[in-house]
Structure 1
Amino acid sequence: MTHITWEAPYCGEGNNCFRIGTDGEGRAYIAVTGAEDRYLTDTHEALRALIRDIKAGKADHLLR
């Protein structure tokens, strides 16, 4: 199993908390806080773009 080092949780308004992680090979991961065993993985830049869009309100429909 891949060892993932998780960063501190980021929490927006309400209960929308997630964490970003990386493994020893430089892959990036994102998961809802408390469910780190069910994660999405992609490149750092792709996950950063996703987070920027969520923060900008472009993906509110995904959080409802």
Structure 2
Amino acid sequence: MDEITWEEPFCGEGASCFRLGTDRDGNAYIAIAGEEAHPLTDSRDALRTMILDIKAGKADHLL
């Protein structure tokens, strides 16, 4: 796996903290902070859509 550049963790109130990352090929990753060795991967657009939906309250139960 290419080296992943991780962003600062996003933490919801009373919930786990998640981190987003990208590799040199533009692949996007998401992981629970502290468990970056086992990230989920998908397209950047899929992850962006999921996060925007969560922030918009469409899926707040995920956080």
TM-score band, normalised by the shorter chain?
A: 0.7 to 0.9
**Structure 2 CA distance for aligned equivalents of residues 35 and 57 of structure 1:** 25
Q: Unpaired runs of 5+ in structure 2?
A: none
**Structure 1 CA distance for aligned equivalents of residues 12 and 53 of structure 2:** 13
Q: TM-score, normalised by structure 1?
A: 0.81
Report how many aligned residue pairs link the two structures: 63
Q: Unpaired runs of 5+ in structure 1?
A: none
Match of 2:30 in 1: 30
Match of 2:6 in 1: 6
Match of 2:20 in 1: 20
What is the root-mean-square deviation in Å for CA atoms of aligned residues? Answer: 1.4
Q: Which runs of 4+ in 1 moved over 3 A?
A: 60-63
SS at structure 2 position matched to 1:21: strand
Quick one: which amino acid aligns to residue 16 of structure 1?
S
Match of 2:44 in 1: 44
- The CA deviation at 1:61 is 4.0
